[in-house]
Amino acid sequence: MNIKEKIHDVGIVPVVVIEDVKDAVPLANALLAGGICFMEITLRTACALDAIKEVATNVPGMIVGAGTVLNRSQAADAVAAGAEFIVSPGLDEETVIYCKENNIYCCPGCVTPTEIMKAISLGLDVVKFFPANVYGGLKALKALAAPFTGVKFLPTGGINEENMSEYAEAPFIIAIGGSFVCTKKDIKDNNFDKITELSKITVEKIKKARS
């Protein structure tokens, strides 16, 4: 399976904020033990690139990517550190072109028909929908999915244990994104067993919602 197929198969891409690089590998292993082989390490902290490198080097079963990528330069730095996919909060054409030129999976944020059409023109068929809870949630996604039948969405923002099944069962959702399986507090407190259990529960809920 390629990355797109694997993302759909797992059904969730955890949004990860690493504040101490030493937590990166234990977290990756905790997610893997829970059945999640993806993690989006956001470029929101000073150690994010080092964390990506640690996971890419030491946890071969984990597909690590970079999130909160705002431009081509950040994308290049993340890829150099070992990122296998790039997620952006918005649509930056240069970043998408860089990723396509370097065979890196790219998922930019798009919340309007115009942005989605631009993503399609750049050859993309999966876009991030962020922040989902602010831009209309599942109701807005249903409306956008109608004219853009070939596009799948990765909604992030406001998705949690209570509403994730509703999102996951929608046919136009490739996967859900969120930090609820690995909160900053749980990472900081090294609650890796808890993260593994939450991951297992989440993966099972997603599978059930899709069945």
Report how far residue 32's alpha carbon sits from residue 155's, in angstroms, rounded to the nearest whole number: 22
- Specify whether 128 is catalytic: yes
Which one of the listed residues 53, 54, 128, 152 is annotated catalytic?
128
> Which residue in this structure is represented by tokens 């890196």?
104
Q: Using CA atoms, how far apart are residues 176 and 154, in angstroms rounded to an integer? A: 5
First to last CA, the chain: 20
Residue 123 burial by Cβ neighbours in a 10 Å radius (0-12, 13-18, 19+) = exposed
Q: Quote the crossing angle between the two packed helices 48-58 and 24-33, to the nearest 10°.
A: 50
**Which amino acids are annotated catalytic?**
40, 128
